[in-house]
């Protein structure tokens, strides 16, 4: 029996070691790490482990042990060591079925505090109240604000449109009870990162015209997902193989959340699912013509969109809903939005989403502050307190966000 156990352990160790070697090889063959990114070796090591986790998750899913998405989230949550700070009271609550976490500074205040509603990132796959706990704690403490973190439901059990609806419902619930939490109704802002940034934009748009609720003071969008229609923008070409959000993982997350079969990936990338009349209607907002020339180095203008594939359109047409692409909201809605602080990262596949939304807001007279991090990459803000695995760009983004919020 002990011999059999030893053989099994040896086999498992060999398998895991082989998987690690395969992950390293895949990284070296398929991943770009631009020279402008600080600490490239650190980034490479982390990305190899990311590939390792995804690959192991896929194997576990094929063996019907657990889904790859659940495994990834499990690993992420185990990597985060939640910090405690005696200056902040942290309370876990539920707004109906939506888990939320409230961060309240302990220091006495002679007047109601600013309120921040935070929506985490993760593509509907990763991210949780726990994995963003330290970030939210830092924001609440540094800005002396009451912060509500929304733990919207995610894949693999929940699909479109649950992220938008959960974020909106939790926000409305909070806005109706601001006095309970000691929040100034005139000083509430929404803040989101990645898909959470897209959710923040959607929530802000959805609340336009709701006179029965306190108005949102500002929106802070950190490299947000703003559209899912044009995948031929300069940043998509330039950064499609940059850790940690490459083109393949981006499309996989979108397809899984939107319940689109991955076989339509090529049609989505080349625009075969966009009718000509639809493109003419939205081109003024979606086209790469809106991207400043300085971001177009090495950019090859594609033939986009391609010839319409009717079947592809029927399968993916919900991508054109405003609820999935806040960039496509009408001018009247955009013009009523509160001021915005937008953060983009130079080496992010979604960089141009931010640039498109920046122009969209400015064209309608919405005040916009913009911060582009030249050595930044997607998801870097979450690494701000990872000690030896943190990056300068993480601190730059956090400092910029804190400075903007405190100046409101």
pLDDT at 405 over 70: yes
Considering 166, 348, 352, 353, which one is annotated as catalytic? 348
Span 114-146, pLDDT tens digits: 999 999 999 888 999 999 999 999 999 999 999
Tell me what pLDDT residue 334 has: 98
> What beta strand segments (E) does 210-259 contain?
218-222
Q: Which residues pair with 183 in a beta bridge?
A: 113
Tell me what pLDDT residue 96 has: 94
Q: Which of 272, 256, 257 is nearest to 313 (CA)?
A: 272
Integer Cα distance of 190 and 221 in angstroms: 8
Q: Which residues pair with 218 in a beta bridge?
A: 189, 339
pLDDT-derived band at 19, boundaries 50, 70, 90: very high
Q: Measure the CA dihedral 203/204/206/207, to 10°.
A: 120
Taking CA 126 as the corner, what is the angle to CA 51 and CA 317, rounded to the nearest 5 degrees? 100
**Could you give the percent of the chain with pLDDT greater than 70?**
100
| 194 has catalytic annotation | yes
Q: What is the mean pLDDT of the chain?
A: 94
2: left (phi over 0), alpha (psi -120 to 50) or beta: alpha
Contact (CB, 8 A) for 121 and 192: yes
Measured in degrees and rounded to the nearest 5, phi and psi for residue 326 equal -60, -20
Integer Cα distance of 183 and 146 in angstroms: 7
For the segment 308-324, the average pLDDT, to the nearest whole number, is 93
Considering 120, 133, 347, 378, which one is annotated as catalytic? 378
pLDDT at 299 over 90: no
pLDDT at 1 over 70: no
Span 251-278, pLDDT tens digits: 999 999 999 999 999 999 999 999 999 9
pTM for the full predicted model = 0.95
| 348 has catalytic annotation | yes
pLDDT at 408 over 80: yes
Other Cβ atoms within 10 Å of 145 Cβ, number = 25
Measuring CA to CA, how many Å separate 214 from each of 183, 187, 332, 401? 11, 9, 20, 22
CATH 2.60.120.260 is the classification of domain 83-227+323-407 = no
Q: How, if at all, do strands 183-193 and 218-222 pair?
A: parallel
pLDDT-derived band at 300, boundaries 50, 70, 90: confident
* Distance between start and end Cα atoms, the chain: 68
Integer Cα distance of 254 and 316 in angstroms: 11
Q: Which of 39, 36, 118 is nearest to 383 (CA)?
A: 39
For the segment 230-250, the average pLDDT, to the nearest whole number, is 94
Span 325-382, pLDDT tens digits: 999 999 999 999 999 999 999 999 999 999 999 999 999 999 999 999 999 999 999 9
Q: Mark 94-116 as b/e (b = at least 16 C-beta within 10 Å).
A: ebeebbbbbbbbeeeeeebbbbb
Tell me what pLDDT residue 3 has: 76
Q: Which residues pair with 115 in a beta bridge?
A: 146, 188
Domain boundaries, the chain: 2-78, 83-227+323-407
Considering 128, 131, 165, 194, which one is annotated as catalytic? 194
Out of 92-106, 290-304, 363-377, least confident range: 290-304
């Amino acid at each position: 029996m002990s011999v059999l156990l030893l053989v099994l352990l040896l086999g498992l160790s060999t398998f895991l070691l082989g998987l690690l070697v395969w992950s390293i090889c895949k990284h070296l063959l398929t991943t770009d790490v631009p020279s402008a990114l600080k600490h490239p070796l650190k980034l490479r090591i982390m990305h190899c482990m990311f590939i390792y986790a995804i690959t192991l998750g896929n194997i576990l899913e094929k063996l019907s042990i657990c889904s790859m998405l659940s495994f990834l989230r499990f690993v992420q949550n185990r990597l985060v060591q939640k910090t405690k700070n005696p200056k902040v009271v942290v309370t876990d609550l539920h707004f109906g079925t939506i888990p939320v976490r409230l961060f309240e500074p302990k220091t006495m205040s002679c007047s109601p505090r600013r309120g921040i509603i935070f929506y985490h990132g993760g593509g509907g796959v990763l991210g949780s109240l726990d994995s963003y706990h330290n970030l939210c704690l830092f924001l609440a403490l540094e800005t002396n604000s009451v912060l509500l973190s929304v733990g919207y439901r995610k894949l693999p059990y929940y699909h479109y449109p649950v992220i938008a609806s959960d974020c909106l419902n939790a926000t409305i619930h909070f806005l109706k009870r601001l006095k309970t939490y000691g929040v100034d109704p005139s000083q509430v802002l929404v803040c989101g990162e990645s898909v959470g940034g897209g959710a923040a934009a959607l929530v802000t748009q959805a609340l336009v015209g709701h006179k029965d609720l306190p108005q949102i003071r500002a929106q802070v969008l950190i490299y947000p997902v703003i559209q899912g229609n044009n995948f031929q923008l300069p940043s998509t070409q330039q950064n499609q193989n940059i850790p940690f959000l490459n083109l393949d993982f981006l499309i996989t997350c979108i397809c899984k959340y939107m319940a689109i079969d991955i076989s339509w990936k090529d049609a989505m990338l080349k625009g075969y699912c966009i009718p000509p009349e639809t493109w003419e209607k939205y081109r003024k907002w979606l086209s790469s013509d809106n991207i400043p020339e300085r971001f177009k180095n090495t950019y090859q203008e594609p033939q986009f969109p391609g010839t319409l594939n009717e079947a592809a359109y029927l399968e993916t047409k919900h991508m054109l809903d405003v609820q999935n692409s806040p960039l496509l909201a009408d001018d009247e809605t955009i013009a009523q939005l509160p001021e915005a602080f937008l953060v983009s990262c130079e080496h992010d596949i979604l960089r141009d989403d931010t640039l498109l939304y920046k122009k969209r807001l400015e064209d309608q007279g919405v005040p916009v502050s913009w911060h582009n991090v030249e050595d930044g990459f997607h998801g870097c803000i979450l690494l701000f307190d990872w000690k030896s695995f943190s990056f300068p760009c993480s601190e730059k983004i956090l400092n910029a966000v804190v400075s903007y919020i405190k100046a409101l």
